Chains A and B, each alone.
Chain A
Amino acid sequence: MEILNFEFPSSKVKARRAHVGVVGSGDLEILMEPSVDGETRVTIQTSVAGFVDTWKAVVERFLQQHPEAANIEIHDFGATPGTVALRLQQAVEVSKS
């Protein structure tokens, strides 16, 4: 298991709360909550070590499209970058519903 932490400056708009996914094989769970200080923090627990660059790229791409200030916690159980991107997108959709 590897634990990764990223921090990014974000817009003043706060993200809304959302919970999606499951910590099952090839899947992940995401908890998204508003961040109060204009920083977006992403904490990742992943069962697969050694993919820090891939995680950074997927998270940066997501934050370019959704710069809302958020605390994002990810529990990953070997999801592919595509699955991670879809789950992040789903979290945004759930937070708006």
Chain B
Amino acid sequence: MTFEITLSDEVLALSARRSYIELNARARALQLLDDGTFHELLGPFDRVESPWLPMQGIVTQSDDGCVVAKGKIDGQPAVVIAMEGKFQGGSIGEVCGMKMAEAFRLARLDNEKGIPTRAVLSLESGGVRLQEANMGELVIAEIYAEMVALRKHTPLIVVITGPTGCFGGMSLAAGLASYVVMTRQARLSMNGPEVIELEAGKDEFVAADKPFVWSVNGGAQRFATDFADVLLEDDADAVTQAVTELFRKGQPAQLRTDKYELFIKRLKFLDPAKQWVAEDIRNAWKAVAK
């Protein structure tokens, strides 16, 4: 007896695609950089690990969950910083946060020396690492300062694909980027769903309701409401291509952080007494477009 299986074009297209979401942080940096140009800074064998986690009985990772790699993108010098979401939820501790801030600083110094260096930040992060809270918060401030300084010289691109998503302090870092690239699977939000439910109750937010959560902070909604610039399928080559095209395009006409007056107007348009759903927010954003 023989079986014949006919696959739809959709399924065939899906199976031909390489997932970006399934790549670990190092593989993501390799994916974004031109072939053969990947050079890792403070890699696993340098063993710059968190000194704080073992004191609290927590296993460390040799790169503290942050991969910093120099190389080239589209033939131009570039640095890629990729967070590993599987290690401690991609949380920002002293070491990995400082790696990130220093990478931005070195890229800025190169730019100031006349070496145009691009920067991509691939984020999977729950925000600051609670076990290193104060150091984490301080280093996040350094990250912001360096991002603001660097984006004067080069577009700074944030890529958020999931599965962890981007929350807390790193969601604000995404806000500072010149461009944000997202997939539908990615989530971007200041407070995570569980945190909102815990603080404001189930009337406000049901963290277990996945369609609801994604409708509020998923990639499609974030793209529709101007928090992301590119919405992609989960395709590794498409991510590389999107990043390359954004660098070719150069600086955006207006940075997201310079659009604060528009965002304030939109927030004023929302009546906080009413329970808003994703569609209402999209409509409000359209109603207040200038």
- Whether A22 contacts B84 in the complex (CB less than 8 A), given A1-B54, A31-B45, comes out as yes
Given A1-B54, A22-B87, A33 and B62 contact (CB-CB distance below 8 Å): no
Q: Is B41 an interface residue (CB 8 A)?
A: no
Per-residue CB contact flags for chain A residues 1-36 toward chain B (1 = under 8 Å, else 0) read 100000000000000010100111101010101000
Q: How far does the alpha carbon of A76 sit from the alpha carbon of B62 in the complex, in Å?
A: 12
B residues in contact with A25, CB < 8 Å: 86
Question: Cβ of A47 < 8 Å from any Cβ of B?
Answer: yes
Q: Out of B43, B58, B62, B88, name the residue touching A29 (CB < 8 Å).
A: B62
Q: Which residue in B43, B45, B59, B65 is a CB contact (below 8 Å) of A1?
A: B59
In B42-57, the 8 Å CB interface with A consists of: 43-45, 47, 54, 57
Contact across chains for B62 and A75 when beta carbons are under 8 A apart: yes
- Tell whether B240 is near chain A: CB-to-CB under 8 Å: no
**Smallest beta-carbon distance B81→chain A, Å:** 17
From residue 25 to 71 of chain A, which have CB atoms closer than 8 A to chain B? 25, 27, 29, 31, 33, 45-47
Distance between A14 CB and nearest chain B CB, rounded to angstroms: 15
Report how far A47 CA is from B54 CA in the complex, Å.
Answer: 10
Q: Mark A70-92, 1 if CB is under 8 A from B, else 0.
A: 00010111000000000000000
What's the minimum C-beta distance from B66 to chain A, rounded to whole angstroms?
A: 12
| Cα–Cα distance between A72 and B45 once the two chains are bound (Å) | 12
In the bound complex, CA of A76 to CA of B61 (Å): 9
CB-CB under 8 A from B84, the residues of chain A are 22, 24
Q: Are A1 and B62 in contact (CB under 8 A)?
A: no
- Asked if B60 is at the interface (CB within 8 A of a chain A CB), the reply is yes
Report B170 CB to chain A, min CB distance, Å. Answer: 18
The residue that A31 contacts in the complex, of B44, B58, B65, B86, with Cβ under 8 A, is B44
Which chain B residue has the least Cβ–Cβ distance from A27?
Answer: B86
Tell me how far the C-beta of B91 lies from the nearest C-beta in chain A, rounded to whole angstroms.
12
Which chain B residues border A75 with CB–CB below 8 Å? 59-62
Q: A30–B84 Cα gap in the complex (Å)? A: 16
Instruction: Give A44's nearest chain B residue, CB to CB.
Output: B59
How many residues in B have their beta carbons less than 8 Å from beta carbons of A?
17
Q: Which residue of A lies closest to B62 (CB)?
A: A31
The size bracket of the interface on A is 10 to 19
Q: Enumerate chain A residues within 8 angstroms of B47, measured Cβ to Cβ.
A: 31
Contact of A45 among B44, B45, B60, B86 (CB under 8 A): B60
Are A1 and B86 in contact, CB atoms less than 8 angstroms apart?
no
- From known contacts A1-B57, A47-B58, A47-B59, infer whether A23 and B45 are also in contact, taking CB-CB under 8 Å: no
A22–B61 touching, CB < 8 Å: yes
**Which positions 16-73 of chain B face chain A at CB distance < 8 Å?**
24, 43-45, 47, 54, 57-62, 65
The answer to whether residues A1 and B61 also contact, given A17-B45, A19-B44 and a CB cut-off of 8 A, is no
Contact, CB under 8 Å: A24 / B62: no
A54 and B141 CA atoms in complex are apart in Å by: 44
Complex: how many Å from CA A29 to CA B24?
12
Query: Which chain B residues lie closer than 8 Å to A24 at the CB level?
Result: 84, 86-87
Which A residues lie within 8 Å of B54 (CB)? 1, 45
Cβ-defined partner of B59 (8 Å) among A19, A31, A33, A45: A45
**Would B62 and A19 count as touching, CB distance under 8 A?**
yes
What 19 new A-B contacts, CB under 8 Å, besides A23-B86, A24-B87? A1-B57, A1-B58, A19-B44, A22-B24, A22-B87, A23-B61, A23-B65, A23-B88, A24-B84, A25-B86, A29-B44, A29-B61, A29-B62, A45-B60, A47-B58, A75-B59, A75-B60, A75-B61, A75-B62
